[in-house]
Structure 1
Amino acid sequence: MRNIFIVVFALLCFTVKAQDASTSEVKFPVADPSPADIVYYPLNAAKVKADDATKPIVKVIYSRPQKKGRDIFGVLEQYGKVWRFGANESTEIRFFKKVTIGGKKIKAGAYSLFAIPNKDSWTIIVNKQTDKWGAFSYDETKDVVRVNVPVKTPSKPIEYFSITFNSKEGGINLVAGWDKTQIELPINF
């Protein structure tokens, strides 16, 4: 009798647990305060119609931190230290064909972007390591190229870290800006 009671009790517990699992709601993570974004060159490459032959040349996947009233470069992001070039995971840049940056030819493929911000110039780093969180595991031995670029001051502060491209003879400039800082990285095809 005691064995039957134990078996019935165990079955009841299992049934209740199974009902709880089937009726419980999935808990989704809250929205990230630094949303992910993607930018292509040409800028319309992802939106082309079926009969349009435009193909992407460069794609950047990055997260967009906000200023939120803070001083960014030199305060929040220290001068002279490697920065992930955005928020969350390190920023990824994909070249769909061979490009040249800082006089160095770079094969088609996926890379990460890092930066070392300073007051008057930044060092932009293209690195082989991808899919890492932030710059915490940045490995300088995997750098493909480092390029120094001058800092410009936009006409008004930029709330979200932003990346776009503009055309230039022989290629493009990757333009990045946040707060009172803007840089341009020349990329040649």
Structure 2
Amino acid sequence: MRNIFVIVFALLCFSAKAQESTSTEVKFPLADPSPADILYFPINTPKVKDGEVLKPVIKIIYSRPQKKGREIFGVLEQYGKVWRFGANESTEIRFFKKVTIGGKKIKAGTYSLFAIPNKDKWTLIVNTQTDRWGAFTYDATKDLVRVDVPVKALSKPIEYFSLTFTPIATGATLIAAWDKTQVELPIGF
């Protein structure tokens, strides 16, 4: 009987030692300083309750860089240069049905959003190229539409790049703000 206990004990020790030597500690990436976020129109789409019918029309996935005391537009994000409209990967916008932007009809699908900031106006761009890091490989030949929109100066700075929607009679307005700058893009549907 004593031999059985010794054998079982030896097997348990060997098994534990084998597991210890084969398992390696996984290193996970640190949290990103520009957190990813998702925005829907209608805003409450992901919070729909059982029995309610509320289907999304637009979904945006973007990263939210922070001001961190820096001067943003004209310095960090230079005027006249294509910007990824956020941080990290280029911002993606998904239309669940046909929409109209700047008088151009765009079919349902997933696209990227870019911007060319300037002091008094921005050019907002819907582009077919997706799954890219930043604007480093931006290809203007894949633009679906470019729309110039005026800049609105804010009295108080916005720390994180922020997006939201407001409903309008013909669809929704995408509002983007960061630092002391705000722009608006009407989207019809």
TM-score, normalization by structure 1: 0.89
Report what 2:123 is aligned to.
123
Q: Any residues of structure 2 matched to 1:9-158 within 5 Å, and which?
A: 19-22=20-23, 24-158=24-158
CA distance in 2, matches of 1:21, 1:164: 48
Q: CA offsets, 1:31-86, max 9 Å, x none?
A: 00000000000000011012111100000000000000000000000000000000
Give 2:151's aligned amino acid. Answer: V
5+ residue gaps, structure 1, are 1-15
CA distance in 1, matches of 2:52, 2:137: 41
Report what 1:3 is aligned to.
none
Give the secondary-structure state (helix, strand or coil) at the position aligned to 1:93: strand
Give the secondary-structure state (helix, strand or coil) at the position aligned to 1:46: helix
Give the secondary-structure state (helix, strand or coil) at the position aligned to 1:180: strand
Displacement of 1:25 in angstroms is 1.8
CA distance in 1, matches of 2:119, 2:67: 17
Identity %: 74
Displacement of 1:169 in angstroms is 1.7
Give the secondary-structure state (helix, strand or coil) at the position aligned to 1:157: strand
* RMSD between superposed Cα atoms in Å: 1.2
Give 1:71's aligned amino acid. Answer: E
Give the secondary-structure state (helix, strand or coil) at the position aligned to 2:154: coil
Report what 1:159 is aligned to.
159
Displacement of 1:142 in angstroms is 0.4
Report what 1:4 is aligned to.
none
Displacement of 1:168 in angstroms is 1.2
5+ residue gaps, structure 2, are 1-16
Give the secondary-structure state (helix, strand or coil) at the position aligned to 1:175: strand
CA distance in 2, matches of 1:34, 1:145: 27
CA distance in 2, matches of 1:37, 1:18: 39
